[in-house]
Amino acid sequence: MNAPERMLLSGNEAVALAARGLGIALGTGYPGTPSTEILEDFSARGGRAQWSPNEKVAMEVALGAAFGGARAIVTMKHVGLNVAADPLFTAAYTGVSGALVVVSADDPGMASSQNEQDNRRYAVAAGLPMLEPSDSQEAYDFLGWAVRISEQWHLPVILRMTTRVCHSKTIVEARPLAATAPPAPHFERDIAQRVMIPAYARPAHRRLREKLAQIATWGETAPLIRRIDGDRKLGLIASGISYEHAMEAAPGASFLKLGLTYPLPIENIRRFAAGVERCVVIEEGDPYLVEALRAADIPVEGKPEMYRFGELNVERVRRILARDVSPEPAPPRGKPPQLCVGCPHRIVFETLGKLGCIVAGDIGCYTLGVLPPFEAMDSCVCMGASIGVGLGLRHVLPEAEARKVVSVIGDSTFVHSGITGLVEMIYNPPPTGHVVLILDNGTTAMTGLQEHPGTGRTLDHRPTGRVVFENLAHALGISEVHVLENLKDAAALEELMMRLMPSGKLALVIVRRPCLLTAKRDADLAKASGT
């Protein structure tokens, strides 16, 4: 037998490669740093991948594929799992016929996110097995294990990655994965299993807990746990990227590396902890492992609270082991990012700033409108929140202030979670009316120029159906719908805004001009396809 090919891959690429090897029939998701490249690379390798309008829909499409007996994967960043949590929790009850792997890519340190929530909590809350790879090799291997666990227990499995695992490149041996050949999709009717009315959901919850108990027993001796017997004076328990930092910070110590972090192999951990003099848990983010182990009456040392914030690294692990709580040196302050020179969003924020607007903002490149020289954004919470927050402000502010409130949202974000906001606007209009601006640059720019339903092109840039925002607004009954194509003249926007903001009407203004970066990308695509 030939030696497996060795490659230098990012964790995301390793997941995509494994997905191809495993015969994953469908990959779905919504772009979000640090998860985006998984589906793009899966598609580039010949896999069937598609962007959904948002993570909830992506989860449901993947769940349907898994109901049909196929192997499916759904990818998203950590906050995306909040959006997809509704189907996730009940999918734990229904289970799956094929395999469903949910990739949650967390962003400790918030390199490109609005919070640093620790999605390990979701595995506990939903009751789903969770695997945590430490490097690209494990990202590759663990997708195989995730499929195997999903098929054996008919449960969705969470593959929880973090920024440094997703984006670091490490060596991968593309060895055969621990899974059987992919099944042929077919439908088997099983009403009590998949229709979650209370009568069927009650036994489903009991089934879920039985499965988790079985997986916990299996996990006690599964190869997903690696024990390194070193110096008995110091034993470290770690998972994910924290394991790599800890191996470097404490060479020679004893280690228990956990690949399966829900359900936890409690008895295995108990034996390890009992066999070392000092047992320290090295984990990034929340004290998830520490709390679980202490609840199981395993005495372990955690990290001082100051290390809960931000990423860990080798130096911080050394400090944790030294119980050093002295202030850390400030990281070097580099040059902050900014809206590109010539970016079509610039005119909009210059105008909103000049008009003294109260701007309910949203998530995307245009969030940079909050920074100097613009400083023209007053809130940014989550995908789509601009519209609801703007409406709420309009409802309660004194009339003169209310008339200054505008909601600003990007095209991809609008499709993701803005449409229901428009419905709310029609249904519960503020007395002063409202103005929503869609900054339509024809791409999901922030995450690297992905397509979405408003571009009319698929993940791999082929033509498909297109959602036309102005048609949608007309259909909803919004009285003032304005499209500013290729806007280069700030005066036109200023004049329109001055008219609409105090008008008492409901208005949607679409400022449409392509992102500068897509022009080059599209030229490259045209060249590549020979057109």
Partner 1 sequence: MNTKTTNVVIAGLGGQGVLKASDILADAAFRAGYDVKKSEIHGMSQRGGSVSSDVRFGREVFSPMVPPGEADYLVVLAPDQVEVNRPVLRAGGLLIAPDLIGENVLPNRRSLNVALLGALSRHLEIGESHWLDALRAHLPEKLHEANLAAFAIGRKAVKP
Binding residue for partner 1 (CB under 8 A) from 333, 342, 488, 530?
A: 333
Is 382 among the residues that bind partner 1 (CB under 8 A)?
Answer: no
What's the rounded Cα separation, in Å, for the pair 10 and 29?
A: 18
Size of the site for partner 1 (CB under 8 A): 36
DSSP state letters, 287-312: -HHHHHHHHTT---B---GGGGSS--
- Give the position of tokens 């490490």: 170
Instruction: Kindly state the smallest distance separating residue 280's Cβ from partner 1, in Å.
Output: 17
User: Considering the complex, what minimum distance in angstroms separates the CB of residue 334 from partner 1?
Assistant: 3
Q: Is 370 in the site for partner 1 (CB under 8 A)?
A: no
Site for partner 1 in 183-202 (CB under 8 A): none
Minimum CB separation from partner 1 for residue 261, in Å?
Answer: 19
**Which listed residue (150, 163, 407, 412) binds partner 1 by CB under 8 A?**
163
Per the structure block, which two tokens stand in for 410?
């990007």
Residue 229, number of CB atoms within 10 A of its CB = 12
Query: Least distance from C-beta 314 to partner 1, angstroms?
Result: 4
Which of 20, 48, 167, 271 is the binder for partner 1 (CB under 8 A)? 167
Cis amide prior to 373 (ω within 30 degrees): yes
Separation between Cα atoms, residue 418 and residue 83, nearest integer Å: 13
Q: In angstroms, how far is CA 469 from the centroid of its own chain?
A: 25
Q: Which stretch binds partner 1 (CB under 8 A): 199-207, 277-285, 445-453, 500-508?
A: 445-453
Contact 193, 95 (CB under 8 A): yes
**Residue 321 interacting with partner 1 (CB under 8 A):** no
8 Å CB contact between 280 and 236? yes
33 binds partner 1 (CB under 8 A): yes
Work out whether 135 is an interface residue with partner 1 (CB under 8 A): yes
Among 339, 360, 425, 496, binds partner 1 (CB under 8 A): 339
CA 420 to chain centre: 21
Contacts of partner 1 in 212-241 (CB under 8 A): 241
- Residue with smaller CB distance to partner 1, 331 or 465: 331
- Sole window of 243-251, 407-415, 425-433, 479-487 interacting with partner 1 (rule: CB under 8 A): 243-251
**Residues 328, 329, 335: CA angle, nearest 5 degrees:** 130
From the CB of 109, what's the least distance to partner 1, in Å?
8
CB of 101 to partner 1, least distance (A): 23
Phi, psi of 234 (to 5 degrees): -135, 120
Q: Does 329 bind partner 1 (CB under 8 A)?
A: yes
Indicate the helix (H) or strand (E) that contains 28: strand 26-29
Spatial separation of the C-alpha atoms in residues 126 and 91, rounded to whole Å: 9
In the complex, least distance from residue 53 CB atom to partner 1, rounded to whole angstroms: 21
Can you tell me the distance from the alpha carbon of 325 to that of 306, in angstroms, rounded to the nearest whole number? 7
Query: Applying CB under 8 A, does 78 fall inside the site for partner 1?
Result: no
| Site membership for partner 1, residue 112 (CB under 8 A) | yes
Using the contact rule CB under 8 A, the part of the chain among 56-64, 66-74, 435-443, 446-454 near partner 1 is 446-454
What is the maximum span of the chain, computed from C-alpha positions, in angstroms? 77
- Residue 503 as a binder of partner 1 (CB under 8 A): the answer is no
User: Which of 46, 327, 336, 372 is close enough to bind partner 1 by CB under 8 A?
Assistant: 336
Q: Which stretch binds partner 1 (CB under 8 A): 140-148, 161-169, 277-285, 495-503?
A: 161-169
Least distance (Å) between residue 68 CB and partner 1: 34
User: Under a CB-based contact definition with an 8 Å cutoff, are residues 331 and 305 in contact?
Assistant: no
Residue 496 in contact with partner 1, rule: CB under 8 A: no
Cα separations in angstroms, 518 against 81, 522, 526: 28, 6, 12
Using CB under 8 A, which of 1, 198, 335, 400 touches partner 1? 335
Nearest to 156 by CA among 13, 222, 58, 236: 58
286 burial (CB, 10 Å; 0-12 / 13-18 / 19+) is middle
- Closest approach, Cβ 195 to partner 1, in A, equals 41
Give φ, ψ of 100 to 5 degrees. Answer: -135, 120
Reference 15, options 117, 120, 118, 147; nearest CA is 147
Distances, alpha carbon 291 to alpha carbons 19, 116, 133, 214, 303, in Å: 33, 19, 21, 22, 12
Confirm or reject binding of residue 322 to partner 1 (CB under 8 A): no
Identified binder of partner 1 from the candidate list 5, 86, 229, 315, rule CB under 8 A: 315
Which one of 50, 90, 114, 168 is in contact with partner 1 (CB under 8 A)?
Answer: 168
Residue 34 in the binding site for partner 1 (CB under 8 A) = yes
Residue 509 bridge partners (DSSP): 437, 482
Q: Which residues bind partner 1 (CB under 8 A)?
A: 8, 33-34, 111-112, 135, 163-164, 167-171, 241, 244-245, 247-248, 313-315, 329, 332-340, 365, 368, 446-448
